[in-house]
Structure 1
Amino acid sequence: MSLYSTPAKDLDKFIYDSLQPNMDFLRQVSRDVDTICSFLKENCFRDSPPPQTKVSKVVKGGSSGKGTALKRASDADLVVFLSVFKSYSDQKEDRKEIIEEIRKKLEECVKQKGMTVKIKTTSRDNARGLSFTFNSLDGKESTEFDVLPAYDALGQHRKGERPAPQVYIDLINSISRGGEFSPCFTELQRDFVVDRPTKLKSLIRLVKYWYKEHIYPYKSQLQRGKSLPPKYALELLAVYAWERGSQKTDFDMAEGFRTVLWLIQQYRQLCIFWTINYDFQDETLGRYLRNQLQKPRPVILDPADPTGNLGEGCWDLVAQEATICSQQRCCKTYWDVPTSSDEQEPPKEETSYCALRLNVKLLTGELHSLITSPTRTVWDFKVQVEEKTGVSPYQQRLACQKGTCVDLADNTPLSAYGLESGNTLLLIVKNEESIRVFLKNDRGRTSTYLVLPSDLVSQFREQVQRQENIHTDQFWLVYEGKPLENGHKLSYYKIAPNGTIFLNLRLRGGWMDQPRCPPCLG
């Protein structure tokens, strides 16, 4: 049975039967990989002239290292950290000869041990590594491995230990393109996922399978020079959906999958990052991160490597397929149109899940249904409501019935009101009112302004000129990473009540930036 024809209630079984790799094959691969790692560490570069190159460690990454391997489509990285690389630039300049030496030793190892391994070679001068394939004894399973020589940027890394900021500062000063040294951080990428709950890893498998079967075929439609978003970006969306949702181990798989699809469809709003390995405390690193977060949406930063923005690629094609998928049987739950008689009744006990389906009813009787995240603020939900109803978020008053009628405050998360899927909110359309916004200047001082959403940016800039005593041609304004342009109204930028706008001075030789760190979606 295909994914799209699988009933939502059977997704867990579909993953177990169709996506989980064969355990005997995994054990075979694990044994052979351990043998190869030991062989490379003990024998690779043994005959090299002094100063002798040494293998400091070999780290297994990719889906095999994270525990998210997919049946008949597993991938893994063997990152070989070498003493000869003293910097990131050394890795870039000297890896061709290193790769050739590793290939010779790997062929020697395979021949000696009689492994069912096929090594692929490449003629590209800029190859990052070499590839080989493990095949199961019955020929039904295979795992693709990439062997990648890398600079040991982390040294003797201990799990859970945050790298020193200088590690990332050196990285920032060495890159010519984002993510080019991501193999150096394989341990961090692996640790970010490996200890996650088993069911979350199953959701990641499902998302990867969907990408392979339904997204990858779009590659043939792309124009020259265009690319699809990396599969890793969707894996991170699955982790993000779980973290911002229930964080329970028994969530409903269909709800988890639908939440990832919903995030994909909202790609123009996505700005997602984690501060588990790096943050804004160091001045140089913080400045770089703020610049990263100002880039066009979507922005999805690799939690291990801040130079890796995984939001690049043709997301419109992925969002198009996500919309199609969300209407298939695999995503239909009991509140949707049932697809067979055995799905007519809702489950007796609803498991925890990541998404929230709310109904919004206008006084005219018009009713709309929306899927959102319980961690989103009321304001963010109002912006979503506008897409359905055409009512500006500045003219919306939302209320819920909890014994008495309760107005929903803009800056409060939806979860604070105890809302559940299926609840109905009343939407009352009101006249435009003044809202309070904050302006933070280049010295960190914050001022308060009362504005109308219909005011032009140019009118607001004149207010700022009078209150801050700075001429309008000497500053520019930014809200959530977006410069405010004179020809637009403030409402165009969906500036939230009590939102903060940043004032940036124009200086000789360039602009001094003090952008706001955009919040994650939700």
Structure 2
Amino acid sequence: MTAEKQGCFWDMPPKREAKFVAMEISISCRTCPRQFGTIHSREHHEKQDHHFTASKRAQMATGFSPNILDYKNPTELKRFVEEKLRPIPGPASIACATEIEAIINLIKECFPLPVAQLIKGGSYIKGTDSQGWSDVDIVLFSEAFENLEDCKTKLPEVINDLGKRLKKSSWASRIMMEKRSQLSLRFHFKCYKNHHGHSFDIMPCYDMLGPAPSIGLKQSFYHKIYLCNDTDEIQLYSMSLLQYQVEFIKASTMRVKDLIRLVKH
């Protein structure tokens, strides 16, 4: 810039103010809330605190958005999961468990068909829930369903009836119905003094395996799933496997459960 142009520039207060503001605009870190006055100071912070390499900074320059694995070492990642993702034990957690059981009992009471077996699943039951989010899956097997086709035919009416009964219950003010799927009733349950909530997915189904399936029955069942091309039918098949899924995850180590939490995060 020439001296003449410089003089003209500084003689114009609005432009000088714009230049001053521009110099003061802060630059945010691309992975945390910290702000800096220059790109250089931001990159120094990202390198020191988030372990950004030159290649990662180059990726960021092209609009690449890193996930948590890109800037935390194993120790930091472990601490993040323990402090930010794992549910906090204590009185609130105990009260929460009591209320979850109470709403599950209410669902069973309101179910319009006789219940042969109730299976509980979801992240809350499997122990993979996090501080900010959890879901509860409930599968209700009924002998009123003669077979899978009969179940598919009766499901819309059964789900609709269950929803109406829950809306008329004493817990109705704490149940916020969500958009119903073709195979399940979904709602958000406001839990423990309305401090947080849980997403419920209620799925009535025909029990295709029974309480003690033989190895041959299991193999035949898996073969049917393998050959099935109907998405809804596959989901109905999977309901019969919920109990085994829950048992597998609950028996897993805390590291496996933390990995599931981290993947969901």
What's the TM-score once normalised by structure 2's chain length? 0.62
Deviations 1:162-220 (A, max 9, x none): 953343455567752373222222112212211101121111111111xxxxxxxxxxx
RCO (CA 8 Å, sep 6+): is it higher in 1 or 2?
Answer: 2
Secondary structure class of the residue paired with 1:143: strand
Tell whether the 8 Å contact from 2:135 to 2:199 is kept in structure 1 after alignment.
yes
1:69 to 2:69 alignment: no
> Relative to 1, partners in 2 of residues 1:99 and 1:77: Cα closer, same or farther, differing over 3 Å?
same
> Relative to 1, partners in 2 of residues 1:116 and 1:173: Cα closer, same or farther, differing over 3 Å?
same
1:141 to 2:196 alignment: yes
Q: CA deviation at 1:103?
A: 1.2
Tell whether the 8 Å contact from 1:88 to 1:174 is kept in structure 2 after alignment.
no
Q: CA deviation at 1:80?
A: 1.4
Equivalent residue number for residue 43 of structure 2: none
**5+ residue gaps, structure 1:** 46-52, 210-522
Secondary structure class of the residue paired with 1:68: coil
Tell whether the 8 Å contact from 1:6 to 1:14 is kept in structure 2 after alignment.
no
Deviations 1:3-53 (A, max 9, x none): 4554431222211111112334543343223223333334532xxxxxxx3
1:90 to 2:90 alignment: no
> Quick one: distance in 1 between partners of 2:173 and 2:150?
33
> Relative to 1, partners in 2 of residues 1:92 and 1:166: Cα closer, same or farther, differing over 3 Å?
same
Select 1:12's aligned residue among 60, 78, 81: 78
Select 2:117's aligned residue among 57, 62, 67: 57
* Aligned residue type for 1:156: P
Equivalent residue number for residue 201 of structure 1: 257
Q: How does 1:100-249 map to 2 (within 5 A)?
A: 100-109=160-169, 111=170, 114=171, 117-122=174-179, 127-137=182-192, 139-157=194-212, 164-169=218-223, 176-177=230-231, 179-181=234-236, 182-209=238-265
Deviations 1:239-286 (A, max 9, x none): xxxxxxxxxxxxxxxxxxxxxxxxxxxxxxxxxxxxxxxxxxxxxxxx
Aligned length: 196
What's the TM-score once normalised by structure 1's chain length? 0.34
The structure that has the greater radius of gyration is 2
RMSD between aligned alpha carbons? Answer: 3.1
Equivalent residue number for residue 88 of structure 2: 22
Tell whether the 8 Å contact from 1:81 to 1:150 is kept in structure 2 after alignment.
yes
Q: CA deviation at 1:99?
A: 0.3
> Quick one: distance in 2 between partners of 1:64 and 1:190?
10
> Relative to 1, partners in 2 of residues 1:29 and 1:117: Cα closer, same or farther, differing over 3 Å?
farther
Tell whether the 8 Å contact from 1:25 to 1:136 is kept in structure 2 after alignment.
no
* Aligned residue type for 1:17: E
* Aligned residue type for 1:105: R
> Quick one: distance in 1 between partners of 2:260 and 2:230?
31
> Relative to 1, partners in 2 of residues 1:156 and 1:29: Cα closer, same or farther, differing over 3 Å?
farther
Secondary structure class of the residue paired with 2:240: helix
> Relative to 1, partners in 2 of residues 1:154 and 1:33: Cα closer, same or farther, differing over 3 Å?
farther
> Relative to 1, partners in 2 of residues 1:116 and 1:185: Cα closer, same or farther, differing over 3 Å?
farther
1:38 to 2:105 alignment: yes
Identity of paired residues, percent?
25
> Relative to 1, partners in 2 of residues 1:68 and 1:32: Cα closer, same or farther, differing over 3 Å?
same
> Quick one: distance in 1 between partners of 2:226 and 2:76?
46
> Relative to 1, partners in 2 of residues 1:164 and 1:200: Cα closer, same or farther, differing over 3 Å?
closer
Tell whether the 8 Å contact from 2:134 to 2:198 is kept in structure 1 after alignment.
yes
Secondary structure class of the residue paired with 2:242: helix
